[in-house]
Structure 1
Amino acid sequence: MNLTVKTYPNNTVPKLTYDVLIENQEDGGVIATVLGLPDFKGSGVTKKEALEKLIQLLQDRKPEIVTLEIEPPQTEHPWMKFAGMHKDNPLFTEVMEYIEADRSQIDLENETR
């Protein structure tokens, strides 16, 4: 399997985007959680404060975007194991001549129709 890792130079780093769940708490506080990353939560008295804490948490972790390109493994065509299996058969030439003669006869019949 071939694996290629693409990275971006520091001056062209794409922006990271996250979907965030905002939950108002019974005590009046707010919790912001990154969807798919439940360990990333910011809490505060307001939505803005919760999001600012969440942003700080994410920036402290220094996330990076990496693109992986993975080539699928090369597999042999299922019929290839049969290719050439009769090449050493002494009757191979005779069989091929029979097939060719039969095919010629069929082609001739189709032309006269």
Structure 2
Amino acid sequence: MNSFSSATSQNRSQNNNEVLVNVIVKQRADGRTVAIVPGFPELQVEASDRHAALAQLQQRLETHLAGAEIVSLPVKLPSNEQKNPWLAMAGIFKDDPQFEQMLKAIENYRHELDKSTEDDFLQE
């Protein structure tokens, strides 16, 4: 979850060093307010009211980010496409000099099995 976005509103300051930060604000059963920056568990404050909680959180966030730079990085996502695991094995025997012999041996064995099955069937 991205907590930061560029300040692009016309009402916002023209200062390029300003970003908007998403904040989760919750009021507890005892009436106190908790404010949290998603993705930054260390940036959580608790105060007597919403205004105080947001002011404290803003101060902590500005202190936390002092001297830091916020950048956006493009990240390639893995494909959702299911890969066929058999494709990794395709063609591995193409240059094997014994591959044709193995195929011939398999074919001969199948013929033997077919013949013995046929003979067993005829004897019944």
Higher strand share: 1
Common fold: TM-score over 0.5: no
Q: TM-score, normalised by structure 2?
A: 0.41
Structure of greater relative contact order (alpha carbons < 8 Å, 6+ residues apart): 1
